[in-house]
Structures are given as C-alpha cells and as structure tokens.
Chain A
C-alpha cells in the first residue's frame, strides 16, 4: 500500500507529461494521497502497508517501504498534508504548467518515499529524487536572483548529499546491511568508527537542514523559490536531515554523537541566536521567513542534543517526541507562511517591508490567517509549535541534576530560550509593518483571499490548532 503513496504522484507526473490537465491532476493526486496518508495514521500497524522487492543481491538492496515506527507515520502525515496544500497554492506561469505542477508532485513522491523507505539506499535515493525538481523550480521559475539562489542551493545540498553518502555507506559497511530495520539489531559499532560516522552524518544531514554555519543557502533559495516549492522544501523535505539523524545516527552511533555533543550545542545556538539576529535585520518578508525557518531548526537540534546527552542508565522520554512534534509543527507552519507570503506578494506586488502597511484593512482574512500562523511560529500556546518547543525545553531539563550544576544541554537550552524573544521581535515587527498602521498605496486596492486561496491556508491552520490543543493525537503514534 505504501507503494501507492509513492506511485500516485509519480503516475500523476507521467500523466501531466502525457498531456493531462496539470493543475487538476496534481490536486487530485495530492488529495488521494492525503486520504491515504490519514488512513495510514489509523492503521499503520497493519501488515498491508509494507512492501518489499529485491533490487540487487550484492550488496543486498531492496525497494522496501514500511513504517519502522510512528515517527515515519508522522512524517508521512506531514508530507501528504503539506503536499496537498502546496498543490492548491500558487499559479503556474503561462506555458510552464507541466514543469510547475509536475515538479511539486516529484518532490512529494521523493519526500514520502524517503520517510517510509526501510532500505538505506532508497532512503537516500528518494531524497535525491526530490531535490532535483527543487533545484529546477528555483533555477527556472524562481523570482529575483533565482540563478544565484539555485546555484547556491545546488552546490550546498550537492555537497551535503555527498558527505552524507559517505557517512551512510560507512554506516552500511559497519552494520553490514542496507536494511534499516536489521541495522538496529546489528552489533554495536566500534567507538572510534562511531565518532567518524557521526561526524559525517552531522555534517551531511546538517547541511541539508541548514545547520549553522551551513545555512546560508536556505534563505535566498526560499525567497526565490515558487511558493509550492518553498512550502514543500522548507516544510517537508528539509526534515529529511533531522529524520535521518533521529532514525540512524541516534540509535546506531550514540557514542559517536556523544563525542560531538558540545560542538553540536554550539552550532545549534548558532542557528537560534546568530541566525535569529540575522532574521531581525531582514528587510523583506520572504528573507525574514527563510531565515526564521533556519533559526527554528536549532530547537529540533536541541532535542537531538538532549537525546544524545542522556546519562548512562537513564532515559529521556521527552526528547524524541519533542523533536518529532516540532518537526511536524514547523513543517506545517512554515508551509503556511510561505503560502500566505505568496498571496501578499500577489495582492500588493511587493514583499518589501517598508513598502507595505495597513493591509489588514483591505485583506482582513489574509491578516487573520497570517497573524495566526505567525503566532504559531513564534510559539504561542494553543498552536502546534508551542507544544513542540515546550517539550524540547522540558526534554533538556529532564535529566538535570541541580546539585551537579548545569550541563551543556541545560546551558544551551537556557541560551536558546532567548530565541522566544528574538522570534517575537521579528515576527511582530513584520506583522506590524505589513498589516498594521496606515494604509499605503501598495495595499490600498489589495484583494483579500479568494475562496480557493483559503482552502490550503485554513487546512494548515486547522492542523496547527488541532495538534496544538491536543498534541496527544500525534504523540499517541509514537513509541512510549
């Protein structure tokens, strides 16, 4: 059954190439996938979802798909929800419908495949499959400095993928298998090898997730990417790196990660504080959103750090659910933000903060929805991101021993909480400049969201609210 979830977008892609109506096909395919994804959330333990075909005998590589645990289910849900919203967002330039809608379908297929692959080779290959159309969309259909942005993201992620590939191959060699499930039962990897593998994985996955200081590809890429591409990459595909760390690095090379704990803490603080300040200095909404997305990755890395830092003989029940919940919440909220930013640009013709103002008057629905998701992204309770963030903070203190003083994770956590102030500053400032204050020429005649524009935004908003009010719905999918 999981094969269907990958095949449907691929078949729709083929149909579009063959001349089917691009937009309709894309929407229908993503809609069917959304239904299937929701069905999977309720029945993922059933055997019918699994799928395996041998591809190569030496080394043994299988095209095998399945839910290793609930984390894959959550990631699948994120993928199908954002993919459906992305298919409804944005309009293709005339004559480029095939590329525009086809690429989104390919990105979705690749992301879904990567999250449900249980074979290391396909785990990697599906992600690469999704990256190519991302580069193309930015390079061909992007805005502004699209060529430079496409160039940069291609080099960066190409390099990251290369480093990652080395790490994964080493990992497969060390465990003697490509099967991601069998790996978990393999013999413990020798500590010195662990340390090297961990370094490759942190850098490789890290570049894909825009870990500081490998982050400068992200903001320009998202700023120039067409809306659905930015939504799919920032919302879904980027989470591949974090998923990979949690899925492979944490269980297989825990001691190796432990050796890099302090550097990891420093780098994630770079995401939160350094990039946070970069975000404050942004003068355009798209640049601000792109950087804010980079910044928030730091909190998910903090959950990883908390997981790595668990002392011998103790457990940290908070860290893994925290990371998964925050990945989901961030994915939904950033997708909604990029989708609505596109609407602002279409309505006013600009994303320059100094040229906007008073948009709430002419576009109240847009203002309401943007305000809601803006609040979500800065961690307002009742919305999903808060639940994730507060869990990350609790996770950082779950193994805290006051008489022994603050450990690296606690210190990192305390410093990273300053991020809640930073994010309030840039988000409220942007909201103030775009929606509040006096009406300016660009916003005077701006049109509010139409009915079809509202569907994706409202869908994502409802998801943020449901998960924010009742995080147990997602947490119940995760292993206890």
Chain B
C-alpha cells in the first residue's frame, strides 16, 4: 500500500485544505461564497483526481471525522441549554414560530424537489436540508436519502441563506436582532448562526436557539412522517 492511500494521508489532506480554506475565508472578511466547505473542496478534489484515489477510499480514510458527528449532535444540547433563559419571555412566540417554520422549510424543499420530478431517495436527501448537518445526516438515513447529497444540500442551503438574508431583512425592514437570529438559525443552521453572531451576541443567541429547536423538531417529526410523505411522492 502506498503512503498516499492511507487514512493518514486522507486526513492530512483534509485538515490541510480545511485550514487553508479558513485562512482564505478570514482574509475575505468571511464572505459566504468563500465558505471553507466550498474552498476546501478545490485542493482535495485536485489531489484525489491527480493521485487517482476514489471517493470511496477517501471516505473510508476520513472515517474518524465522521465518527465525531455523533458526539457533535449530542453536544448541541450545550448551546441550546445556554439559550433556554432567553426563551423565558417569548417562549410562546418562539415555540409557535418553530412549529410553523421548521415544517415550512422542510415542506418547501420536499415540494419543490417533487414538482421538479425528483425520485423519493433524492427528495429524502433534501428534506432535512435546513437542519444542522450531524442531525440531517441521521435523519436522511431514516428517509432513505444519500448522505453525500444530504450533507452537500445542507451546506449549500446555509450559504444561500446567508447570501439572501441581508436582502430579505432589508425587504422586510428588519432591525430587530431577535428576528435576524431566529430566521437565520431556522433556515441556515450553523452557517446562518455564525453569520448571526456578526449582527451581535443577541442575534447569535437567538440563532443558536432556533438551530437547536429546528433540528430537534425535524429529527423527532420527519422520520415518523416520512412513510406517509413518501407515499404521496
């Protein structure tokens, strides 16, 4: 076995590309289009193609990273717990918002993909696209989706959400950081939350809250409802 087809090399390639991508991302003032998910792809793809390493082998080599998606999901309880106190005064509105908004985001993804003729496995990969990746990957397993498609869709959703947010907030004349945070967290998960923190601590806190609650509600409801939804497709 050559040194280039070892997990060590796959991991080294991934970490180096990710680190470089972060450096560039910071340099651009964290422009959404320079998100590390997009930038890190370039060197990784070039090297994999140049060395003739298959995606399957690369994925097997970086299994240690995927393993930590499980504990990362559990870890989301921590920011959620820390934000529970911000809920005290407006828990009714926030609960109602998540109960309407989370199905809305998932429903739009499902309906639009279905209208365009996507088969159930593709729709099942897109349904959890507004929730944070570790949870989305778990949900997509239960909805018969492809992990790669689910993870890619989640990342691109976050980037599109962050790109569109300033325009949408201007359109609605939003100056309330609670609204900015709750909207970004529900639609654009962790990528939106990182952006929300740039509006301020308060926006970031509300975004973390929306991210956690949306992920939780979607994970609880979608696998349950999926057999029924798939029946409609």
Is chain B found bound to chain A in the same assembly? no
A-to-B contact residues, CB < 8 Å: none
Give residues in B with beta carbon < 8 Å to A.
Answer: none
